[in-house]
Amino acid sequence: MNLAQGVQVVSLGLLSLMVLGAALGVVLANNIVYSAFLLGGVFISISGLYILLNAGFVATAQILIYVGAVNVLILFAIMLVNKREDFAPISSAWIRKGVTGLVCIGLFALLSTMVLTTPWLIASIPASGEQATLLIGEHLFSDFLLPFELASVLLLIALIGAIILARRELIVNEPASGVDAGLMLPERPREGVAVGSDP
């Protein structure tokens, strides 16, 4: 084993430990904000694994999409909800934890069996190398154009919904007046401004 292979093995071990540690932190952390930050650590560690596989484009897309968009969206959702409610202890919580542990062990055993029994044959097709980004772009805008556009429309709808939810909140106590009253969400009163007066 030469120096380059040693560095790859050590990097693989460190990144694997980072993924497992951060994933356990996501599940076991009591604070949901810490869980969201640890989820970003999981995504970054996975992008490091992609770099070890010489998949630079996928690693960059992992950081841009999952860390820069999905994880930030989760953090915004946590901050916007701002539900001030303390967690109450649940009776017989050990039963739920036991069932969850059994399901996780079963999934781990299933995936491990699949990995060990699958014949991992190396393809005879040569590696794309520097042409990988070009090939991904060709497939994305030819074979997978419709799912790509549908995903962009769904993300736009989610963005508009997030803006509406952040801007207004439904006041349940006010009676509905008119046909379109169910579609209107009254505006929250601003701090420091009396309700009903001009700002």
Angle at 19 between CA 13 and CA 21, to 5 degrees: 100
Q: For residues 138 and 6, what is the distance between their CA atoms, to the nearest angstrom?
A: 36
What average pLDDT does the structure give for the chain?
79
CATH code where residue 16 lies: 1.20.120.1200
User: Rounded to an integer, what is the distance from CA 107 to the centroid of its chain?
Assistant: 20
- Give the tens place of pLDDT for each residue, 89-142: 777 778 888 998 999 999 999 999 998 998 877 666 666 666 777 888 888 888
Question: Number of folded domains in the chain?
Answer: 2
4 within some domain: no
pTM over 0.75: no
Host H or E run for residue 114: helix 93-117
Q: For position 13, what pLDDT does the model report? A: 93
140 within some domain: yes
Of 67, 82, 97, the last residue of a domain is 82
Helix, strand or coil, per DSSP, at residue 172: coil
Q: Which of 125, 124, 148 is nearest to 136 (CA)?
A: 148
Q: For residues 176 and 55, what is the distance between their CA atoms, to the nearest angstrom?
A: 56
Q: For residues 189 and 199, what is the distance between their CA atoms, to the nearest angstrom?
A: 11
Domain extent at residue 13: 9-82
Host H or E run for residue 57: helix 56-61
117 within some domain: no
Residue 16 and residue 76 share a domain: yes
163 within some domain: yes
153 within some domain: yes
Contact yes or no for 20/46 (Cβ under 8 A): no
Compute how many other C-beta atoms are within 10 angstroms of the C-beta atom of residue 199: 6
- The amino acid that residue 33 corresponds to is V
What stretches in the chain show pLDDT beneath 70?
A: 81-88, 122-130, 166-199
65 within some domain: yes
97 within some domain: no
20 within some domain: yes
Task: Output the CA–CA distances (angstroms, integers) from residue 3 to 7, 88, 139, 193, in the order listed.
Answer: 6, 53, 37, 67
Q: For residues 93 and 159, what is the distance between their CA atoms, to the nearest angstrom?
A: 36
